[in-house]
Chains A and B, each alone.
Chain A
Amino acid sequence: DQQVKQNSPSLSVQEGRISILNCDYTNSMFDYFLWYKKYPAEGPTFLISISSIKDKNEDGRFTVFLNKSAKHLSLHIVPSQPGDSAVYFCAASSFSSNTGKLIFGQGTTLQVKP
């Protein structure tokens, strides 16, 4: 049972436009959400996070939105750059578990065309 789902395996956008990556979760115990970025032949790197007490967190070109009632989060990249082309993983966790366990989605491959 996939508790975190990224239903779009891939996304292609033009350089300079907005990229929107989506993620849905089913477990209402999740209270901390993260996005990781992964280039080929490298490990994932942490990008941005959001706590369930917030509905938006912004870091430069990257903004994460959280809609708790819909159990949905999204990552917006504005403007998109070719260097943003990578696989993006959404991840969720529960602070109360205190295990450091991250539940990952399947990933979305973003291609930004020059």
Chain B
Amino acid sequence: EAQVTQNPRYLITVTGKKLTVTCSQNMNHEYMSWYRQDPGLGLRQIYYSMNVEVTDKGDVPEGYKVSRKEKRNFPLILESPSPNQTSLYFCASSWIGTDSLYEQYFGPGTRLTVT
């Protein structure tokens, strides 16, 4: 089954404790991206990657890191989480093509709470 998986689905942590949210896709997509969803703001892009070893900042990259060592995986790293990073996070992937780049497949989401 074609899918984007994220782990963990739920996480409660404390300020400053490093964490990683994993994202994996099995569709051989070149493009992967991370979004966060906050009430009243919709989804906002954090980082994206056009291919292995190619990453770039989105609209809200502060406090986050990513890496793309393999095509299928795109982990999101919070080196020192803060309460303002409490949010619902989505990973997405797609093929790179004129329209397909924007018709993205989303993972189920990770609900993160930082206390």
Contact = CB atoms under 8 A, between A and B. Distances in A.
B107 interface: yes
B102 A34 contact: yes
Contact of B109 (A32, A41, A46): A41
Nearest to A102: B102
Given A49-B102, A49-B103, A99-B48, A42 B43 contact: no
Contact of B104 (A6, A46, A98): A46
Interface of B: 4, 31, 33, 35, 40-45, 48, 50, 56, 58-59, 90, 92, 94, 96, 98-99, 101-109
Interface size class of A (residues with CB under 8 A): 20 to 34
Interface of A: 2, 4, 6, 32, 34, 36, 41-46, 49, 51, 89, 91, 93, 95, 98-102, 104-107
